[in-house]
Structure 1
Amino acid sequence: MAVDLAGRNGHAASCSSSAATLAKDFTDLPQDVFLLIITYLSSRDSVACRRISRAWHDAFTSEHASLLLLRWHFPRSREARTLGSGSKSPGTRRESAAALFAKVARRYHHLRQAKPRLVEKIDVVQETTHRDLYRGVAPWDRFLRWNDNKAVFQYSDPTWCMDDGLLIYPSVDDGQYVAYDLETQRRFHVPFSSRGKIVRRVRLACAVLIVEWCEREPYHRLNEREVVHRTFATAYDVQRAQSRSSSRSPKLAIVRSSSDSSAWNIFFRSEWRIHFLGLPLNATDRFFSTHSNTHYALYIWQPHRSPWGDDDPIEQLAVWNISFPSAYKPSLDPTGTKRPDADLGPSVIRRLTWRELETIGLRQRHTPAIRDLALDENNIYIHEEEHRWLAGTQSSIFPPRHHTVRCTGLPLVGFGPIWYDECCADGDVHMSFCPRSGSAAGLSFADETDADTNKTTTSILPSPSYNKSIWPGYAPCWRHEEFPYLTVSDMKDVLAGVRVVARQCFMVEALSVFVMPRISVEDEDADDENAEARFADEMWTELMGKGRIYGDERWVVGEDAEGRITIVRF
């Protein structure tokens, strides 16, 4: 009995000693208990705990703990989504889970406070100083006016473009275009020669770069005072280099190889003439365009130039199929004698004259309202916008009572149902009457009930899984979602649940004479009280020189008041 008691006492003493050992530090707790406890810490505290002691550093930087914290605090971040897919972002080195979590935590710390971690500037070609290299397409002569206050309603296009973390801009050194990878901070040559050319617009989307340009030398004289220049569009496939990569064109596979997965392949796809005669370099002849991986759409508005001055403008809308790569360059063949078969390159698949535009209610006449064009797999969408405070020579004679936005959708080929969606907003500083207003609406997904807000229900409706914030078929309600504020531009990283919004209002309030423009960050996953954070006032001047911002959860890119590209890194 005595021996038995001694044994039991010895076991009890051993257990007590073990408990005392466990009580020394909570990092010595069983792994599942430790991981459960640290989920109650904020991401900032979790990183700070690494500095308490060597034991804490080892515990909080372990692979298991770091991955848990990353997925717990930032499940929608780019890094967490990449880990979930079992791959890593192309062109990036392999990082430890501890370094990855620290980087993402730092990013969202700056994002939620709307404080840049780093600001980078790039000098680029500007129209005011390099008119021999760039002449942008003028926006409509419409601006906002309320009492004695004025504001820009539609900005001119920047000389640069950006998509998927790749910035393409004209260098001030030689006027040639450069591709800048914001992730690796490496620069690459764009095989577009600006020699003898004047660029009208550049746009990067769907892994395709399109440069719209004209010849510097006139091609034809319209009258005693005006000449036209042959105008073209040149397309390039843009993609990251991989061991075996091919052209994004769906009609031809061009195998490329590279040992450097952080490089970019930019290679010529095709070139086509966008006007049979040419366009003048002036502020009256205008065109809007958009493109996808397979199609290019163009709307042209030109004054009639009748000697009596009483005819309506000339308008047309055309769509090209640009799926077929072609080595033929019409700019090098003025007579067209070397033109190949139309099926072997870009070809027009739909053209609407002013008569067809009149029939479907899209003819603009002397008070145009078109804001932009958009494409999806099967349709083209025309976005229009009217405002109660519009002024200028091209503003409506009978302005609407509300700020109105609308979208008209047409099939790319053939005849089919016409989609029509319209929305209006009115209200005051405290409320908006737009049925789709609210920042969360810009990051939510479409469902079957979304169709109830539309004027017409047709087969053009997207599938339930299509994100409504990026589907072009909806009227651009984001412009008036905080009426009377006007949303000038916004950047949506839908997958990350992050949105950067730039809004402006010149309404006079009770205790102030002017409401300054503002830029704010909206993080869907943040607490309600911290869901919106405002940048410092000076950031408007740093980013909104051209009224547009681009980017994702990692950075925001815009142009400052001096014409330099501003890259705000978080």
Structure 2
Amino acid sequence: MAADTAEENGDAASCSTATLSKDLADLPQDVFLLIITYLSARDSVACRSISRAWHAAFTSEDASLLLLRWHFSRSRETRALVSGWDSRSPGTGRESIAAVFAKVARRYHHLRQAKPRLIEKIDVVQEATHRDLHRGVAPWDRILRWNDNKAIFQYSDPTWCMDDGLLIYPGLDGGQYVAYDLETQRRFHVPFDNADKTVRRVRLACGVLVIEWCERAPYHQLNEREVVHRTFATAYDVQRAQSRSSSSRSAKLAIVRSPSDDSSAWTIVFRSEWKIHFLGLPLNATDRFFSTHNGTHYALYIWQPHRSPWGDDDPIEQLAVWNISFPSAYRPSLDPAGTKRPDADLGPSVIQRLTWRELEIIGLRQRHTPAIRELAMDENNLYVHEEEHRWLAGTQSSIFPPRHHTVRCTGFPLVGIGPIWYDECCADGDVHMSFCPRSGSTAGLSFADADAEAEAEAAGNRAPTPLPLTSYRKSTWPGYAPCWRHEEFPYLTVSDMKDALAGVRVVARQCFMVEALSVFVMPRISIEADEDADADTENPEARFADEMWTELMGKGRIYGDERWVVGEDAEGRITIVRF
């Protein structure tokens, strides 16, 4: 009996040893998938190099898809997989889910550490040396001054623009505009003839490129010292070529479009042109205009000194809205007499015009101390953002500055007469406390369904899925006052890049000589925390190296999404920081 017992014990030990020595890759699929969710994204990629068996296990479709959705549920790749491929996505080539997971893991590794993977430079036309090609609209004469310290309050517009991963800039070859797809790194020609034209501003939004420009030759003698130039806006439809898509679920889950296919090309087609001022505007630093547009409308606010010989009259102000929905081949720049003008319904037409009287009624009359920062627009309304600061100085600063840094928004319908929307926010305090009710570096990235999502995860749903698009509308709605400017008072948020869907934000702040460029990534379900950090830590901040401010903030403006940040360096070159 003792021998039998010993034999049984030996068999049990042998079985236990065999079980313990079984390779991770040989475990049942459901057990294997459960275990790998405890690994970090970086470790999951590193495990591919252990052996052939591990490589096959960790690069399988099921494992890669699980890891992608578990670690990076808000990434653009995961959102595309869950909702089906967007027809605007670049290319139709095939890239495995395993390759996608490795690429996204690398991206967020660099994002969380605020360390660029690659920095790209592009030389562009500079206004200082090519004033005949580009002469931007001057900002208000207002600066920040506190004791002996001075800082820029509002920067001039860059000579380039960007939206949806497409960068448009004036090349050094005569200022011809080039469209650069950052994903595919392919360049396309913009069919804008800049001969005898001086560009004032370029802007890309909602698939429409608007170039505001004037003729170089003067059109009219305004007075003894000034002339005006006929000024126009030209619009182009900018669209990515349609990609072929597969209705197969397996194809949709197993492949990702590669940026190497011809279907990633962009089409840039002339839509229409219109005159933005009946007479024209001088090329100077005193006549200013602000504008915005979407896919169907264009709005323009013009502020001009009265030019009274006694100099005691209020400035001339007007705001107009155009309907630019309908394409039109008519170019008013080629028809000075207006003899070939078509029916107003067949091209851009003014649908709303507010003179200084109407602006006075709705509280937007600026007079000699203008506060307008920008115009914004949604589908039905126009919003005017204004800003005042307690430390403002300059000829156009307020005589009675506010006690707080104040921002406000005034909104009204694009068409007809309707209710007026007002929203105002102010801040005061120090670096440790801000009295702005919407303060916080990730306040704009909060989600309405966050609590429900947390409850679902706690109940056992360990593979979170992206939130519906309606949860992100609040963070991008232009109707709120731009309180992001003072969210860390006394720092001034100069610019920010916000990818609300991905939960990623890059913030550039300045307090006179103190400059900070930081990245914030929503934790918990976006990416895993470091091994020595709490996974539930709120609003983790990673600060870029000090020199990155000079690389990106030359014009006080940054753009991008979770894949890259684009700005301008101190030498006037476009800087593309890739993660």
Q: Once the two structures are superposed, what CA deviation does each residue of 1:280-321 show, in whole Å capped at 9, x if it has no partner?
A: 000000000000000000000000000111100000000000
Question: Which of 542, 545, 548 is the aligned partner of 1:536?
Answer: 545
1:167 corresponds in structure 2 to 167
Q: CA deviation at 1:86?
A: 2.5
State how 1:44-193 maps to structure 2 within 5 Å. Answer: 44-87=42-85, 89-91=89-91, 93-193=93-193
Aligned equivalents of 2:548, 2:262: Cα separation in 1: 36
2:382 corresponds in structure 1 to 380
Question: Which of 555, 558, 562 is the aligned partner of 1:546?
Answer: 555
Partner secondary structure for residue 112 of structure 2: helix
1:43 corresponds in structure 2 to 41
Does the 8 Å CA contact 2:123/2:572 hold for their aligned counterparts? yes
Q: Does 1:398 align with 2:404?
A: no
Does the 8 Å CA contact 2:441/2:539 hold for their aligned counterparts? no
Q: Once the two structures are superposed, what CA deviation does each residue of 1:510-567 show, in whole Å capped at 9, x if it has no partner?
A: xxxx5x2010000012542781100000000000000000000000000000000000
Does the 8 Å CA contact 1:22/1:29 hold for their aligned counterparts? no
Question: Which of 561, 565, 569 is the aligned partner of 2:570?
Answer: 561
Does the 8 Å CA contact 1:446/1:467 hold for their aligned counterparts? no
Q: CA deviation at 1:18?
A: 9.2
RMSD: 2.3
Q: CA deviation at 1:414?
A: 1.2
1:323 corresponds in structure 2 to 325
Q: CA deviation at 1:243?
A: 6.5
2:455 corresponds in structure 1 to none
Does the 8 Å CA contact 1:197/1:216 hold for their aligned counterparts? yes
Q: CA deviation at 1:19?
A: 7.0
Aligned equivalents of 1:26, 1:353: Cα separation in 2: 74
Structure 1 stretch displaced more, 178-187 or 85-94? 85-94
Does the 8 Å CA contact 2:91/2:243 hold for their aligned counterparts? no
Does the 8 Å CA contact 2:243/2:264 hold for their aligned counterparts? no
Does the 8 Å CA contact 1:163/1:204 hold for their aligned counterparts? yes
Q: Does 1:475 align with 2:484?
A: no
2:211 corresponds in structure 1 to 211
Does the 8 Å CA contact 1:501/1:520 hold for their aligned counterparts? yes
What code does the residue aligned with 1:345 have? G
Q: Once the two structures are superposed, what CA deviation does each residue of 1:474-494 show, in whole Å capped at 9, x if it has no partner?
A: 100000001111000001100
State how 1:410-559 maps to structure 2 within 5 Å. Answer: 410-445=412-447, 465=471, 467-506=473-512, 516-525=514-523, 527=535, 528=537, 531-559=540-568
1:309 corresponds in structure 2 to 311
Aligned equivalents of 1:34, 1:229: Cα separation in 2: 71
Q: CA deviation at 1:93?
A: 2.9
Q: CA deviation at 1:14?
A: 11
Partner secondary structure for residue 468 of structure 1: helix
Change (3 A) 1:314 1:530: closer
Q: Once the two structures are superposed, what CA deviation does each residue of 1:119-140 show, in whole Å capped at 9, x if it has no partner?
A: 0000000100111100000000
Partner secondary structure for residue 556 of structure 1: strand
1:460 corresponds in structure 2 to none
Scaled by the length of structure 1, the TM-score of the pair is 0.89
Does the 8 Å CA contact 2:221/2:227 hold for their aligned counterparts? yes
Change (3 A) 1:466 1:56: closer
Q: Once the two structures are superposed, what CA deviation does each residue of 1:171-221 show, in whole Å capped at 9, x if it has no partner?
A: 012210000000000000000011110000000000000000000000000
Partner secondary structure for residue 75 of structure 1: coil
Q: Once the two structures are superposed, what CA deviation does each residue of 1:54-85 show, in whole Å capped at 9, x if it has no partner?
A: 22112111111111111100000011111112
What code does the residue aligned with 2:203 have? R
Aligned equivalents of 1:29, 1:19: Cα separation in 2: 15
Change (3 A) 1:446 1:310: farther
Partner secondary structure for residue 102 of structure 2: helix
Q: CA deviation at 1:91?
A: 2.3
Percent identical among aligned pairs is 85
Change (3 A) 1:51 1:446: closer
Partner secondary structure for residue 469 of structure 1: helix
Aligned equivalents of 1:21, 1:438: Cα separation in 2: 51
What code does the residue aligned with 1:441 have? A
Aligned equivalents of 2:487, 2:430: Cα separation in 1: 12
Q: Does 1:226 align with 2:226?
A: yes
Aligned equivalents of 1:289, 1:92: Cα separation in 2: 37
Flag structure 1 segments of 5+ consecutive residues without an equivalent: 1-5, 245-258, 448-462, 507-513
Structure 1 stretch displaced more, 61-70 or 84-93? 84-93
Does the 8 Å CA contact 2:404/2:426 hold for their aligned counterparts? yes
Question: Which of 28, 31, 38 is the aligned partner of 2:29?
Answer: 31
Flag structure 2 segments of 5+ consecutive residues without an equivalent: 245-260, 450-468, 528-534
Change (3 A) 1:61 1:466: closer
Q: Does 1:343 align with 2:345?
A: yes
Q: CA deviation at 1:53?
A: 1.8
Does the 8 Å CA contact 1:242/1:260 hold for their aligned counterparts? no
Q: CA deviation at 1:90?
A: 2.8
Aligned equivalents of 1:440, 1:530: Cα separation in 2: 6
Aligned equivalents of 1:92, 1:504: Cα separation in 2: 43
Does the 8 Å CA contact 1:92/1:184 hold for their aligned counterparts? no
> What number of residue pairs does the alignment pair up?
529
Partner secondary structure for residue 158 of structure 2: coil
Aligned equivalents of 2:539, 2:58: Cα separation in 1: 26
Does the 8 Å CA contact 2:203/2:211 hold for their aligned counterparts? yes
Partner secondary structure for residue 204 of structure 1: strand
Does the 8 Å CA contact 2:472/2:500 hold for their aligned counterparts? no
Scaled by the length of structure 2, the TM-score of the pair is 0.88
Aligned equivalents of 1:354, 1:445: Cα separation in 2: 40
Q: CA deviation at 1:334?
A: 0.3
Aligned equivalents of 1:271, 1:194: Cα separation in 2: 14
1:456 corresponds in structure 2 to none
Q: Once the two structures are superposed, what CA deviation does each residue of 1:490-519 show, in whole Å capped at 9, x if it has no partner?
A: 01100000000000013xxxxxxx5x2010
Does the 8 Å CA contact 1:316/1:352 hold for their aligned counterparts? yes
Change (3 A) 1:340 1:232: same
What code does the residue aligned with 1:169 have? Y
Question: Which of 332, 335, 343 is the aligned partner of 1:333?
Answer: 335
Does the 8 Å CA contact 2:438/2:487 hold for their aligned counterparts? yes
